[in-house]
Amino acid sequence: MVTELGDKTFFIAAILAMRNSRLAIYSGAMGALIVMTLLAVCLGHVAPLLLPKVYTHYAAAALFLFFGVRLLRDGWGMDANHVSDELEEVEAELGTEGSEVLEPLHGGERRAQPAAGLFGLPAAFVQSFTLTFLAEWGDRSQIATLALAASKDSFGTTVGSIAGHAICTGLAVVGGRILASSISERTVHLVGGVVFLGFAIAAFLMGPEDM
């Protein structure tokens, strides 16, 4: 969860849910995140079959160490009240401004959306799925999932990752931009860095046989 809060996929769901059906946006985002989780777990599960477990174990530990140090370094250099620049980046990519998104709609209703998109699916679902899938590719949460699957139980990693995505995406869809704009990027980075370093230290101390 700490890798997903305040992430690009979080903001995508938050902004899209303000202009579309929340159910469609949540379903599309979760569909993409589940697919990406399964891909990462499969890659992590196959890696120990191709390489000795000791290599994949310490490679995973090295990844956690690298991203943990990187998150702590970036977070330490941020202002305490700094709000994630990814919110502005996502708004720019979606062609919207925050004020426009938050402007009350006539009659209190959401804007009408095209009835169907690709393969007869709702256009909002397709947009949410596509944007989330592309944003998640190579993201730190996907790499963390891959590393965990390579060094720990694949089933537990899958369930935990999907549960974390479900909670974070639900918060984004329900809370919207108010929640997104209140998240301190510095806090997210520091907490994420500590968690990643904890995984790395545990991996180095316990060794592949104990995990």
Confidence (pLDDT) at 47: 77
Name every residue whose Cβ is closer than 8 Å to that of residue 201 and which is 6 or more positions away in sequence.
Answer: none
Residue 202 resides in a domain: yes
**Residue tagged 């990406």 (tokens):** 36
Confidence (pLDDT) at 98: 46
Confidence (pLDDT) at 41: 92
Confidence (pLDDT) at 120: 64
Residue 125 resides in a domain: yes
Residue 112 resides in a domain: no
Number of domains into which the chain is organized: 1
* Residue 77 CA, distance from chain mean position: 22
Q: Which domain holds residue 153?
A: 8-93+119-210
Residue 78 DSSP label: S
Per-residue pLDDT of the chain (211 residues; tens, 9 = 90+): 666 666 778 888 887 887 788 899 999 999 999 999 999 999 888 877 777 878 878 888 888 898 889 889 888 877 765 555 666 666 666 665 444 444 443 444 444 444 455 556 788 899 899 988 988 887 778 888 888 888 778 899 999 999 999 998 998 888 765 665 566 677 777 887 888 898 889 888 887 766 5
Residue 102 resides in a domain: no
CB atoms < 10 A from the CB of 47, how many?
19
Residue 111 resides in a domain: no
The strand pairing partners of 184, in sequence order, are 83
> Model's pTM, two decimal places?
0.68
Residue 101 resides in a domain: no
Confidence (pLDDT) at 32: 94
Region label for 51, one of left (φ > 0), alpha (ψ between -120 and 50) or beta (otherwise): beta
Nearest to 165 by CA among 139, 185, 190, 204: 139
Confidence (pLDDT) at 147: 85
Residue 60 resides in a domain: yes
Confidence (pLDDT) at 83: 53
Residue 98 resides in a domain: no
